[in-house]
Structure 1
Amino acid sequence: MWVAVAVFVVAYVFIAAERVPKMAVALAGAGLVLGLGVVGSADAFYSRETGIDWDVIFLLLGMMIIVGVLRRTGVFEFVAIWAAKRAKGSPLRVMVLLVLITATASAFLDNVTTVLLVAPVTLLVCDRLDIDPVPFLIAEVLSSNIGGAATLIGDPPNIIIGSRAGLTFNDFLVHMTPIVVIEILVFTLVLPLLFRGSFTVDPERAASVMDLDEREAIQDRTLLVKCGVVLLAVFTAFVGHSVFHLEPSVVALLGAGVLVLISSSKPKQFLASVEWETLLFFAGLFVMIGALVKTGVIGDLARLAADATGGDALTAVLLILFVSALLSGVIDNIPYVATMSPLVADLSAGIANPVHAEALWWSLALGADFGGNMTAIGASANVVVLGIAKRNGTPISFWEFTRKGALVTVITIALAAPYLWLRYFVFG
């Protein structure tokens, strides 16, 4: 246990310090826990509880390949010019528009897929306006994690919770969407303060954007149609997960394979968009977190939180909310929710009032989803966007992201707590 904790803490310090590439740190940490026998190859590569989440890895790989082919059509340039013109060249209005688009899309796709699609558009908009894209990318990933909380399929932890608690897509819409709408509205209102000083643009540059014709950006209309058909099929399969019984990772890989085949794309063209460093970082991070799960560290922390409730439902709900937000900000929220779900199931079984019992699950979902915004490695979407920014030559530091993300987490959790109290204990 202590070896697993020590390796994770040291790795986390190195990741935060940013003196060594985070991919190298994650792989070194994974190598240590494997080499020292804390976890074995079966634990790291084959176990659903302690191993690499291959569904996440191959979902990312498939969507990165699809984005790589889609990029050749010029559609990202089209959307970038369209967004800039609708915002009349105002950086603040551009940010608000992209934030709302990202939050809405994240509710119906997973948030990683959403940021993979929106980030290239953002980079092009900022390039057209000659402004720093970093604040825009951070705002989008924060809104993605908030918006993804609204539905069963929007954030991977929700899928785990829905499966464990027997909650449906409609249950999430009814219970999670109202607070997510409130959170997004508040988040939009604080954007000018959160990113103060990021909205200055050269008037001539803004005027030149208004003169552009977005239709001229489309370079290959035939390929665009093919991409559109494949993306529609992929998104339909994502939304119809419960009907088709296909995991998102399988859907993404199938979509990528079909699109590469019908577009006659060469490997050099579509593999150039794959963030290999990000995928390897995830692999190493999953192994280190798996060591914490196997040795009982995460389980013990969750059990201590559960025991501290004293049998009071409201105390349990608020404690789960705050602890989930904190721990999900430090470790990836997927293994945390997988570990915490059995404990929440035990807690809810001991509560007589069914409304109060169900509130425990919504507390876990809100804490884990919103807590993922706390640090740069709190959620998968965060890591993906940091990788894209680095490849674009505009790296986002761990602390630059975390300063904004921690503040947004505090705001969202502060709004979630009274929502849970009012909805399930006052009016429930």
Structure 2
Amino acid sequence: MAAATALVIFVAAYALIATEKIHRTAVALGGAGLMLLLHITDAEAAFFAEDTGIDWNVIFLLLGMMVIVSVLRQTGVFEYIAIWAAKRARGRPYRLLVMLVLITAGASALLDNVTTVLLVAPVTFLVCERLALRPEPYLIAEVMASNIGGTATLVGDPPNIIIASRGDLTFNDFLVHLAPLVALLLIVFCLLCRWMFRSAFRYDPDRAAEVMALEEKEAITDRRLLAQSLAVLGVVIAAFVLHPVLHYEPSVVALLGAGLLVAATRVTTEDALREVEWPTLVFFAGLFVMVGGLAKTGVIADVSKAVADATEGRLGLAAMVLLWGSAVLSAIVDNIPYVATMSPIVADLVQQHGDAGQVLWWALALGADLGGNATAVGASANVVVLGIAARNGTPISFWRFTKYGLVVTLVTVALAVPYLWLRYL
């Protein structure tokens, strides 16, 4: 009974989020409240349990990086990067998109994808304003590029960290096994963008000439604060990359960096917190509670177990079911709690198949990471970018994102099939 009720609440909440008749944060809070009110979950499971509660590592990672970005914004560095990128692209809209996509994907391989979109989104608004372009296609392309690029490394996408922990995999394992495919997917993705957003690439020679005449160095308003901010950001990035050695969670690193930056500079606490996307953080908290209710009542485990049983011990079939099943489920629920629930089952399957079973970890990573592009709530980075877009007066609807996301997910996951089959099976 509890499982059925939890499923009804989640499906109803998801439908409301998709229709956008009620703000997604209100829906997430309402759904989480019902889960608690009806004793489907409780305070202990919702707030403190690792498997069924709010993932505070994600919440505080976002909070810390939002504060750092807020301080960076006050230096003029985003205006500098915007002018630099526009000049290198010579004001050509498609060239600019490709440049921003490659920058985002590359950065997402070293940072987590949420941090990357927090840094790139402000640049996008500025450069689009300079060139009189609509920012929505660029934001959608960037967030999808961040999910694709983040697939390449252990630290690039939060689900990869969970997979690495369960599978005893290293940074180099991800790089060797997934980076070659990611490079191919980025090329294909850039071509897809040319087709999907073709109506947005309108070249304005007058605006382009104005941008080419600008001097990007003049955009920097506070060089001392910029130096301090970049120093702290550099340390934070280094700590992210060295996570396997230092063993500090990314959330701890982000909070320490944010605290150090506010304490060591003349930026006030009020100014630092002003740009924090509080509705986005609250939405994540509510979503985690709802998904935790599904996990606590066994709904997600039952679905995952059924998928595992359906493969009947055949490794190739298991890899393909896991790849496509993960892509579908990660489009519906955030891929972080999904991977947290699925990884123990995959660990059992890998053990059954021996060394050859390692392909199942790559199938899970590709399905979860690439499937996160399918809908507006499929990955943490998607939700963050939609929140930033709404805050800046250019809201992106659930269905507009999903219209493009389904195409990108279908193409990229389909390309992963021959890669896994030819290399491992």
* Interval containing the TM-score (normalised by the shorter chain): over 0.9
Q: Contact 1:23–1:278 (CA<8 Å) still a contact in 2?
A: yes
Tell me the residue number matched to 2:360: 360
Following TM superposition, by how much is the alpha carbon of 1:267 offset from its aligned partner in structure 2, in angstroms? Answer: 2.4
Following TM superposition, by how much is the alpha carbon of 1:202 offset from its aligned partner in structure 2, in angstroms? Answer: 2.1
Following TM superposition, by how much is the alpha carbon of 1:264 offset from its aligned partner in structure 2, in angstroms? Answer: 2.0
1:23-102 counterparts in 2 under 5 A? 23-102=25-104
Q: What are structure 1's unaligned runs of at least 5 residues?
A: none
Tell me the residue number matched to 2:405: 405
Tell me the residue number matched to 1:119: 121
1:18-417 counterparts in 2 under 5 A? 18-352=20-354, 354-355=355-356, 357-417=357-417
Following TM superposition, by how much is the alpha carbon of 1:346 offset from its aligned partner in structure 2, in angstroms? Answer: 1.2
- In 2, distance between residues paired with 1:60 and 1:348? 32
1:125 partner SS:
helix
1:350 partner SS:
helix
| Alignment-mate amino acid for residue 367 of structure 1 | G
2:353 partner SS:
coil
**Paired positions, count:** 423
Q: Which segments of structure 1 move beyond 4 Å, counting only runs of 4 or more?
A: none
The root-mean-square deviation of aligned C-alpha atoms, in Å, is: 0.7
- In 1, distance between residues paired with 2:368 and 2:34? 28
| Alignment-mate amino acid for residue 208 of structure 1 | E
- In 2, distance between residues paired with 1:370 and 1:313? 21
- In 1, distance between residues paired with 2:263 and 2:308? 51
Write the deviation string for residues 146-165 of structure 1: whole angstroms up to 9, x where unpaired. 00000011011111111111
- In 1, distance between residues paired with 2:422 and 2:64? 42
Q: Contact 1:130–1:201 (CA<8 Å) still a contact in 2?
A: no
Tell me the residue number matched to 2:422: 422
Q: Contact 1:33–1:291 (CA<8 Å) still a contact in 2?
A: yes
Following TM superposition, by how much is the alpha carbon of 1:244 offset from its aligned partner in structure 2, in angstroms? Answer: 1.3
Q: Contact 1:238–1:251 (CA<8 Å) still a contact in 2?
A: yes
Q: TM-score normalised to the size of structure 1?
A: 0.98
Matched, 1:15 2:17: yes
Q: Contact 1:293–1:339 (CA<8 Å) still a contact in 2?
A: yes
| Alignment-mate amino acid for residue 36 of structure 1 | L
Write the deviation string for residues 31-86 of structure 1: whole angstroms up to 9, x where unpaired. 00001100000011000000000000000000000001000100000000000000
Following TM superposition, by how much is the alpha carbon of 1:206 offset from its aligned partner in structure 2, in angstroms? Answer: 1.2
Write the deviation string for residues 369-392 of structure 1: whole angstroms up to 9, x where unpaired. 000001000000000000000000
- In 2, distance between residues paired with 1:101 and 1:139? 12
- In 1, distance between residues paired with 2:208 and 2:332? 40
Following TM superposition, by how much is the alpha carbon of 1:289 offset from its aligned partner in structure 2, in angstroms? Answer: 0.4
1:250 partner SS:
helix
Q: After the TM superposition, which of the residue ranges 161-170 and 199-208 deviates more from structure 2?
A: 199-208
Write the deviation string for residues 388-412 of structure 1: whole angstroms up to 9, x where unpaired. 0000000000000001011100011
